[in-house]
Amino acid sequence: MRYGRRRLSKYLLLTYNIEVNPRTLENYIKRLSSFTFVRRKKRQNEDKNTNFKFTDLVQRDYISRNNVIYATDVTYIPAPKDINQNHIYLSAIIDHKTKFVTYEISLNNDTQLV
């Protein structure tokens, strides 16, 4: 059987009552040139339903006037150390001409933020 250094040290301890540091065991394995290959976990892909299409509310008709089409986004920002929580959220409303209309900062990512 092929074991790694940690598993091999546990095996020696439980079976033969021999206590060996895993790092020492790793040095012995290197000297004896008996390497084991670690099998990496296969990444599981989730099934994506690509048949669903969102309705095009703008219909590619970008009006040249301001204050007609808006977009919003919530961004996670790491907070300074003096704030109790680890992060804050920034919600920005942008005109389709990429001009900021307004923004809101909150400690919670909820519907009141947007």
pLDDT (tens digit, 9 = 90+) per residue, 16-36?
999 999 899 888 888 887 766
Domain ranges of the chain: 1-39, 70-106
For every residue of the chain, which 3-state class applies, written as one string?
CCCCHHHHHHHHHHHHCCCCCHHHHHHHHHHCCCCCCCCCCCCCCCCCCCCCCCCCCCCCCCCCCCCCCEEEEEEEEECCCCCCCCEEEEEEEEECCCCEEEEEEECCCCCCCC
Q: Is the pTM of this model over 0.85?
A: no
Each residue of 57-109: pLDDT tens digit?
Answer: 777 776 667 777 888 888 888 877 766 667 888 999 888 777 888 888 888 88
